[in-house]
Amino acid sequence: MRLIPWCLALLCVQAQAGILLSASEAARREQLACQPTAILGVLECEQLAPPPRAPSNDPEIKAPDYVPNSGESIPVPQTEQPMLPVLDAIPTRTKAGSLTLAWDIWFGTAGLWWEVWDKDQLRYRGRDFTRRIKDAPPNTPPEQLIDGGMQSVQSGTFQIAKLEAGEHQFLIKLCNGSLEQPVCNEVAASTWTDASDGQDGAAAKPDAPALAWIPQVTTEGKVTVAWNLWWGNTGTHWEVLNGSKIVYRSDKFTENYDHSQAGQVDVPLANGAHSLSVRLCRELACSTSDTLKVDAMLGPELSPAKPQVALFTPDDPDLGDGLLPSQVLLSWKTDEPGIVPDRWMMIDQTTRQVLFSQPIKADCGSGVWCGSWQGVPPSRPATLRVKLCKAKSCTDSDLIEVPGVEVK
């Protein structure tokens, strides 16, 4: 009697749904789809078509030969002050919506980066430069003409997607040097944005506020500046001036009625003579009180004002394209008066590590102190705090949370 091999008799029989294979044999093969059968250790399998070939480059494409850079691989940092940017005209009054800020320099030293500030808040920092062509001024040499116009040495354009209602004070900074020791040139402009499209015409100028009594000499290192508008045209915001410099600005009033207003604030004073006044404004139209003089003596040790911190990520629509996907922008400013700080630091609240420290050499205008940091935090998520210091006397900001990075 002839014996039939076990494989042919049982395992290699062609069935209507597939091939019968032992589990060990199926494990050695590829491209099979198997399911158990009623026979222990036997699988019913179907042969699958081979997968499509993975995409690849044409084999005839060859990588080019490496050619080393003949010049300097890293530009030498520029420490000379850039030329003053020439800002395109901005209307003194605008409707709610977008606004484009654009500038040029036509000769001289260019900048390494530029910044846009709005009401002492950093809105953009980056190296997104262009070279615009505009109408050439008279007597421009023919060799500098391009299609009848003149090309700038350096230009920049930034669009704010949506302006908030109220006053905007823009500052465009063109900088060289480094973030720790910037060498900048800056140009300023301002505009008023209406709350809705239904507002037209110039704002009614407020009547002049009246200053309350101020002592001619103070030994406390500060003085209370109070004012009243007893009757007349009111304002939308008010400012305290020390000489010609704005040291405080607010849209909050202690009294605010249809035809009368009042305000009050404690203003720190350094040693010496001071000339204080209050300016009441409606939009961009302002009226100024009389000036009162006060001599300040050495007062107690005071701390800088508390910094107010904001955090921006690349997802913020009003920030522009100034951030890489992994970067954040931390910006801070003071809202209340305080003594002059000399340094600010960014602290990781969890590790107590100082992530950034920078000297402060000048205010940001309007008596406001401000600063910013742009980069990739060591860890995400994280909890950060800004510390504003005068010598060893420091004031901490509220904690601010840095979100984790979304995996897409």
Domain positions in the chain are: 6-47, 86-193, 210-296, 307-402
The confidence score (pLDDT) of residue 321 equals: 62
Report the distance separating Cα 387 and Cα 307, nearest Å: 8
User: Phi then psi for 6, rounded to 5 degrees?
Assistant: -60, -35
Distant-in-sequence, close-in-space partners of 402: CB < 8 Å, separation ≥ 6: 311, 328, 377, 380, 381, 382, 383, 384
pLDDT, one tens digit per residue, over 175-186 is 998 887 889 999
Q: What is the pTM of this model?
A: 0.48
Q: In terms of pLDDT, which residue wins out, 232 or 75?
A: 232
Mean pLDDT of the chain: 81
Half-sphere exposure of 275 (CA within 13 A, CB side): 7
Report the distance separating Cα 372 and Cα 313, nearest Å: 13
pLDDT, one tens digit per residue, over 360-404 is 877 776 567 888 888 888 888 999 999 999 888 889 999 999 888
pLDDT, one tens digit per residue, over 255-287 is 999 889 999 998 877 777 889 999 999 877 889
Q: What is the CATH number of domain 86-193?
A: 2.60.40.10
pLDDT-based confidence at residue 160 (cuts at 50, 70, 90): confident
- For 200-244, give the DSSP string: -SPPPPPPPPEEPP--SEESSSEEEEEEEE-SS---SEEEEEETT
Report the distance separating Cα 242 and Cα 286, nearest Å: 16
The confidence score (pLDDT) of residue 200 equals: 46
pLDDT-based confidence at residue 145 (cuts at 50, 70, 90): low
Joined tokens for residue 23? 């589990």
Q: In terms of pLDDT, which residue wins out, 124 or 316?
A: 124
The single residue listed with the structure tokens 């465009």 is 172
Pairing assessment for the beta strands 121-126 and 222-229 based on DSSP bridges? unpaired
Report the distance separating Cα 151 and Cα 133, nearest Å: 4
pLDDT, one tens digit per residue, over 66-86 is 666 665 555 566 788 999 999
Report the distance separating Cα 46 and Cα 49, nearest Å: 10
* Dihedral angle over CA of 150, 152, 156, 159, nearest 10: -10
The single residue listed with the structure tokens 């005839």 is 60
| Distance separating the N- and C-terminal Cα atoms of the chain | 69
Report the distance separating Cα 29 and Cα 32, nearest Å: 7
pLDDT, one tens digit per residue, over 35-55 is 888 777 788 888 888 877 777
The confidence score (pLDDT) of residue 309 equals: 92
Half-sphere exposure of 188 (CA within 13 A, CB side): 9
Pairing assessment for the beta strands 182-193 and 93-94 based on DSSP bridges? parallel
Let me know: does 394 contact 388? Beta carbons within 8 Å.
Answer: yes
The confidence score (pLDDT) of residue 64 equals: 73
Q: Look at residue 93 and tell me whether its pLDDT is greater than 50.
A: yes
Q: Residue 208: name the closest of 118, 323, 291, 127 by CA.
A: 291
pLDDT, one tens digit per residue, over 190-208 is 888 876 544 444 567 899 9
Let me know: does 228 contact 200? Beta carbons within 8 Å.
Answer: no
DSSP state of 357: E
Query: Tell me, which fold does domain 307-402 have in CATH?
Result: Immunoglobulin-like (2.60.40)
Report the distance separating Cα 86 and Cα 407, nearest Å: 42
The confidence score (pLDDT) of residue 73 equals: 54
Q: Are 86-193 and 210-296 in the same CATH fold?
A: yes
Domain 210-296 in CATH 2.60.40.10: yes
Query: In the chain, what percentage of residues exceed pLDDT 70?
Result: 83
Report the distance separating Cα 32 and Cα 46, nearest Å: 6
- For 34-81, give the DSSP string: EEE-SSTTEEEEEEPPPPPPPP---TT--PPPP---SS-SSPPPP-SP
